[in-house]
Amino acid sequence: MRFCFIVEDEYRRQSMPMVIARHLAQSGHDVDLLEPTKTVTALWDLRRQLYDAYILKTVADGPGLCVLEAAEAAGIPTINNSRSIRLVRDKSLCTAYAYAHGLPVPHSYFVTDPHLLRKIPRERYPLVVKPTNGSSGRGIYLVNSPARSLRRPKYAERVSDFFLVQHYVKNPGYDIKLYVIGKDVFAVARESPLHPEVEVAHQLLPVKPAWLKLARRVGEVFGLVIYGLDVLETRHGPMVVDINDFPSFGKVPQAVSLISDYIVRFAKKARMKRGWLPFALRTLRSTSSRGQHVRSENGLAR
Ligand SMILES: Nc1ncnc2c1ncn2[C@@H]1O[C@H](COP(=O)(O)OP(=O)(O)O)[C@@H](O)[C@H]1O
Ligand SMILES: [Mg+2]
């Protein structure tokens, strides 16, 4: 099969998603890398490239999503699909959508500036302030009282123009990271940036039935297939505080082969749905160019 990995600059030297691209190439698939900041993408040519799927691990405000959307608009399957990615990349949108679909998320507000926090009643504190386009714990801060909310922290200005403000959820001081590949769910304990005093051994945990149900429900609601969610254990059950498309899957055993297998299954299913014509064209192309595609200019050596 033929895959195109859209690789954001930030991930060029990181393990994900490069390990997956390499694994697929070593398993005999044609894999090309498209680096959006270094590539001129011919939009009329997207269909003729005959990729079975485009794959993207997004980065905040990165250009990769535009290329993925273009590929999708040209009728090529993508992982994840662009609408699902858009729904989770903006934390306000993600929370409103999750809330509207009955998922357990903390009550949240959208504000353009943290000084507006003073309009939130005192009894709602403590509050957690997050940049709407944030990730990896950047720019997250806990505000314990209205008095503390008056000053806009300097670092917040650099991260985002807008903010999601959430009721703080009482929790044991660490996260349960749920990682999902199709229907497979894995749980890993991870420290919370809001509780640096709590030490946690990053370890794989047995997946509780409530976590499994919640993780799969998030996939159904958002239409994600490879994703992760940050969950906090509370008196009222697990609460979702964050959802990410294509996370890094640290500590998940066999993540590389599971994700690669999933991508191949996904692409095969999509091929069957598309019918015989693209398949015939692809066969024609691979017969005429056999031996020439082992390594392309921006492809991966097998
Ligand atoms: N509403 C909340 N109540 C308590 N802790 C929270 C809340 N929201 C986030 N946190 C903590 O802050 C961490 C970072 O927030 P998150 O929304 O996951 O942002 P990021 O996209 O930067 O990972 C979470 O993993 C969790 O430990
Ligand atoms: Mg998070």
Ligand 1 center–CA 19 separation, angstroms: 27
Residue nearest ligand 1's atom 17 by CA: 242
pLDDT for 192 equals: 95
pLDDT for 287 equals: 45
| Direct distance between the N- and C-terminal alpha carbons of the chain, in angstroms, rounded to an integer | 13
Closest atom of ligand 1 relative to the 167 alpha carbon: 1
Second-level CATH architecture of 171-245: 2-Layer Sandwich (3.30)
Query: Helical H runs in 119-222?
Result: 154-159, 209-222
Cα–Cα distance for residue pair 30/256, rounded to 1 Å: 17
Q: From the centroid of its chain, how far is CA 138?
A: 16
2: Cβ contacts below 8 Å, ≥ 6 apart: 29, 30, 31, 32, 49, 50, 51, 52, 282
Residue nearest ligand 1's atom 21 by CA: 135
- Which positions of the chain have pLDDT values less than 50? 287-297, 301
pLDDT for 288 equals: 42
Find, among 134, 124, 169, 125, the residue nearest to 155 by Cα.
134
The highest-level CATH class for domain 107-167 is alpha beta
Model pTM score: 0.91
Closest atom of ligand 1 relative to the 139 alpha carbon: 22
Cα–Cα distance for residue pair 170/150, rounded to 1 Å: 23
Ligand 1 center–CA 10 separation, angstroms: 22
Residue nearest ligand 1's atom 10 by CA: 241
pLDDT for 67 equals: 96
Q: Are 219 and 229 in contact (CB under 8 A)?
A: no
Cα–Cα distance for residue pair 263/8, rounded to 1 Å: 19
Domain limits, the chain:
2-80+254-288, 107-167, 171-245
- pLDDT digits 0-9 by tens, 246-300: 999 988 989 999 999 999 999 999 998 877 555 555 555 554 443 333 334 455 6
Ligand nearest to the CA of 138: 1
Instruction: Classify domain 2-80+254-288 at the CATH topology level.
Output: Rossmann fold (3.40.50)
